[in-house]
Amino acid sequence: MGLIFCSMILGASSILSFVHEATLGGWDMWRAYSDMKEANWIGADKYFHARGNYDAAQRGPGGAWAAEVISDARENFQGFLSRGHEDVAEDQKANQWGRSGQDPNHFRPSGLPDKY
């Protein structure tokens, strides 16, 4: 009986941890989007995609999951609006780059202010 109770507690704890990571990852994605809009910098789109996904994935499995769901939804919606399939594919490449833990600065355009 005690073993079942402990398993339930540990399972609930990991679920709560996943949900917490996913929530924080969603906020990371929102922050990258807000920064992209604020910066309004030509050529910075892929950097902000990679950065949002990177930051979210650093939270753990929940953050990586949130980043993938948000990125896929955004790109599928934009693809539905007929926004060039090549651009959507390039955005997804930057998304995956960041989620995989690679440095988002690979996509950083020169001259983008340091605050981003």
Per-residue model confidence (pLDDT) at position 27: 98
Per-residue model confidence (pLDDT) at position 12: 63
Q: How crowded is the C-beta side of 37, counted as CA atoms within 13 Å?
A: 5
The answer to whether 25 and 95 have CB atoms below 8 angstroms apart is no
The tens digit of pLDDT for each residue in 41-88 reads 999 999 999 999 999 999 999 999 999 999 999 988 877 777 677 888
pTM: 0.86
Q: How far is residue 44's CA from residue 113's CA, in Å, rounded to a whole number?
A: 11
Q: How far is residue 93's CA from residue 14's CA, in Å, rounded to a whole number?
A: 30
Per-residue model confidence (pLDDT) at position 103: 98
Q: What percent of the chain has pLDDT over 90?
A: 75
